[in-house]
Structure 1
């Protein structure tokens, strides 16, 4: 597999209790967990993919941590795993959604692990089995936006990336779908980590946008739901 970088637009659309949308530019990478891109020796701390930014033990590799999580879930070790995520750039990364795709020895995608993070430092993984359209359903089990309680279920659409990339997450409750998040983009010609260093504000911009729009939603009358056990 060839490492790929995507220039993306991330959109959030709330439909209730208020109608509100946001859009921000960013980038995400498609990488092989057994062959992660790296900068030359001596420059690795400037940009790269770190196990400490994802599930498991920071002292182990990303692949080792994912394999351990899958084993606990009763899933055989996949022959290959790709990851759709942002790199850490100049010491910072915030990746709200990381997608791990699992492949068997024939190159067939057998499942997906969706790792969700919130701005409180929490992290949760969902094991998905997408259908032929790349879509799966799973009950919501993690506190993400403070303006949404932990209820309902998600439909998550994750077609395999090519020249174009599309990820769609929709929250459903009885008789309504109050929230949809999308990440869409195109494959960039340059897939060097040096490129990410030229635009370090992109990953910080995601965090800034979350907080800025959170303030605007608060001013529109929304109030946070308590985290409770999900803290």
Structure 2
């Protein structure tokens, strides 16, 4: 899309991408952001970074009070380049550490703590505000994006896929992990999210089922949705 055309310029809009784990929302979000020259924010990485800090500092992740008391201590910094998103903890890159089995097993109880969510949602809102102030649109993906983080997003998506497809994709991402074990883990995560409300479908969100499509096809479909949303926003503003 040409940046000279105000009706199709994705600058200064927010795309909120919610959905289930393993549905392809991260790959889709990065692809769309790269295609349209937007920033990209992986909110899940922020929760993982918080979890890694708790583990590294011997905080019992199952002790909600202890986690809450420490939630304000770590310094979490997100890089928003869709081709190379980064996550730093107290100034150190932790991109590898946050994908470890230890973090996989501990992130859900940490993410349920109210103080953790409040802290990270505030950081996520700051990232969005900085992007908009700089004249850049941003694709934000994770949980609670269209409900708690940025309810005013010009485009809200809820990305899903059937359980078998999600498990196969996540197993492939993890280097050939057992698909059945991965499926059980994803289903457990879904159960936790539904209990704490993190799996809520945002009001006005467009449902995107990625099951039968390739990544390129999903990205193309979402780009078309973005173009429609940008035109609608421009018309509403009287441009």
Q: Same fold (TM over 0.5)?
A: no
For CA contacts below 8 A with separation 6 or more, give which structure has more relative contact order. Answer: 2
TM-score (ref. length: structure 1): 0.31
Task: Give the TM-score of the pair, scaled to structure 2.
Answer: 0.31
Greater helix share, structure number: 2
